[in-house]
Amino acid sequence: MIVKLIQIDGELPNLALMKLAYHYKAIGAEVSFSHSVKRDLFEPVYDFVLASAIFQTSWKKIELLKDFYPNAIVGGTAVSKKREDTVENFLGIAPDYKYLDYSFYPEFEYSIGMTHLGCSSSCGFCCVGEKEGSNRPLSNINEIWRGEPYPKKLILLDNDFQNRLGWQSICQEIIDGNFEVAFIQGMNLRKLTDEHIDYFKQIKFRDKNFQKKRFYCAWDNEKDIKKIERGLHILEQANIQRSTVTPYFLCNYFRKGLTEDVWNRFLFMAERDLRPYAMIFEKWTLPPNDDLKIFQNWVNSHNAYANPTKEGFAEYKNYYQNKNKIYKEKQAELFI
């Protein structure tokens, strides 16, 4: 059997494709891998071409893939949010299959995985609850870490870690094993409790490149301000410095555009020395050079912290639009 796996988007190793690679190699198949959706002239005829796309913005690449491989099967949240559309169902194997093949990511030395699946909430803008169901344990740290000689650095894709049944024992495993950990999906600040303090005090929270201390979390709705304040207080008690806290910061969902709820949350966070990361819901619906897009650039590039005010943004917007104008003029000159 000859199988080709294609990762259409995403920077990190793709868990679904790693599971497929492990499974097909285990049954003796010849497996190849690519990030390109195009077919080379000398490629063989495959029994299966299996691709994964996470982002809805990847639709053009998916169409191109289908031109080159009309029988390709494409999975991932970009194409389906149905709970039954899993690698395990496709392969007809036991649910919550954990084996991963890292061989197509030779540069990646960390260990990646999830200690649980699902989420106890069902936010309208998010597909985790719909796709994965309610929060339930999946793996412990010992199952996720690849072992020696790999570094004790874990990227955990948990979406609702603080509510996982037995989160305490997972924290203890992280602490006892002296792991560094990047919870890159973000912790739910609203649901932290005093019980988290002692565990979090001892955990080495890191950014996704393991270069800096970083605690990822989220603040989606302005109305949660009291709960967010309480969550921040818990982090403070756990000795997690404000400047190392990155709340993912949803915009354009409850109200469209660069609205007051975006400003209120940003100013609140900037005053407290947090480093939010602005995320725009359905960004592709906004016109080019929309204020919210420029605002996102200002915040996520950290240019905002020189003068985190509306006046500071006005200055940046001016600079940004001029820079784009000059760039376009230079591009036009090149083609004269």
Shortest gap between Cβ of 167 and ligand SF4 (angstroms)? Answer: 15
DSSP letter (8 states) at residue 14: P
Considering only residues 194 to 213 of the shown chain, the ones binding ligand SF4 according to CB under 6 A are none
Q: Cβ distance 216 to 183 under 8 Å?
A: yes
Is 228 an interacting residue with respect to ligand SF4 (CB under 6 A)? no
Is 132 an interacting residue with respect to ligand SF4 (CB under 6 A)? no
- Please give the structure tokens belonging to residue 122: 């069902």
- Alpha helix (H) residue ranges in the chain: 15-26, 59-68, 87-91, 128-132, 141-144, 167-176, 195-202, 225-237, 260-271, 291-300, 310-334
- The distance from CA 20 to its chain's CA centroid, rounded to whole angstroms, is 21
Is 188 an interacting residue with respect to ligand SF4 (CB under 6 A)? yes
Shortest gap between Cβ of 163 and ligand SF4 (angstroms)? Answer: 9
Part of the chain binding ligand SF4 (CB under 6 A), chosen from 43-51, 62-70, 125-133, 265-273:
125-133
**In 10 A of CB 220, how many CB atoms?**
23
Alpha carbon distance 239, 289 (integer Å): 39
Part of the chain binding ligand SF4 (CB under 6 A), chosen from 32-40, 122-130, 170-178, 230-238:
122-130
Part of the chain binding ligand SF4 (CB under 6 A), chosen from 88-96, 115-123, 209-217, 287-295:
115-123
Is 134 an interacting residue with respect to ligand SF4 (CB under 6 A)? no
Shortest gap between Cβ of 125 and ligand SF4 (angstroms)? Answer: 7
* Count of residues of this chain found to bind ligand SF4 when the rule CB under 6 A is applied: 10
Is 128 an interacting residue with respect to ligand SF4 (CB under 6 A)? yes
- In the bound state with ligand SF4, the residue whose beta carbon lies nearer, of 20 and 114, is 114
Is 160 an interacting residue with respect to ligand SF4 (CB under 6 A)? yes
Q: Collapse the DSSP code of 334 into the 3-class scheme (helix H, G, I; strand E, B; otherwise coil) and give the result.
A: helix
- Please give the structure tokens belonging to residue 125: 């803008």
Q: Cβ distance 217 to 188 under 8 Å?
A: yes
Site for ligand SF4, rule CB under 6 A: 119, 121-123, 126, 128-129, 159-160, 188
